[in-house]
Structure 1
Amino acid sequence: MNSKADIRHEEKYQQFTLTLGEDEAELAYATPEPGVLDFTHTYVPEDARGRGIANQLIKEGLRYAEAHGFKVTASCPVVAKFLRQHTEYQQLLR
Structure 2
Amino acid sequence: MGIAQIEIERRDRVTHGDYVAKLDKTDSMAKLSWTDRGGVRHAEHTFVPPEARGKGVAEELVKALVADARQQGFKIAPDCSYVERYFDRHKDLADLRA
TM-score, with normalisation over the residues of structure 2?
A: 0.88
Aligned mate of 2:21, from 2, 18, 21: 18
Q: Secondary structure at the match of 2:59?
A: helix
- Establish whether residue 59 from structure 1 lines up as the match of residue 60 from structure 2: no
What are structure 1's unaligned runs of at least 5 residues?
A: none
Aligned mate of 2:80, from 43, 56, 76: 76
Greater percentage in helix: 1
- Counterpart AA for 1:62: V
Aligned mate of 2:54, from 50, 55, 77: 50
- How many Å separate the matches in 1 of 2:8 and 2:62? 11
- Establish whether residue 32 from structure 1 lines up as the match of residue 8 from structure 2: no
- Counterpart AA for 1:16: Y
Runs of 4+ with deviation above 2 angstroms: none
CA deviation string 1:2-40 (max 9, x = no partner): 535x1010013600000012010001001011x211100
Identity %: 27
- How many Å separate the matches in 2 of 1:70 and 1:41? 18
Shift of 1:65: 1.3
- How many Å separate the matches in 1 of 2:91 and 2:4? 24
What are structure 2's unaligned runs of at least 5 residues?
A: none
- How many Å separate the matches in 2 of 1:42 and 1:2? 20
Seen in structure 2, the aligned counterparts of structure 1 residues 2 and 18 have a Cα distance that, compared at 3 Å, is farther
- Counterpart AA for 2:30: A
TM-score, with normalisation over the residues of structure 1?
A: 0.91
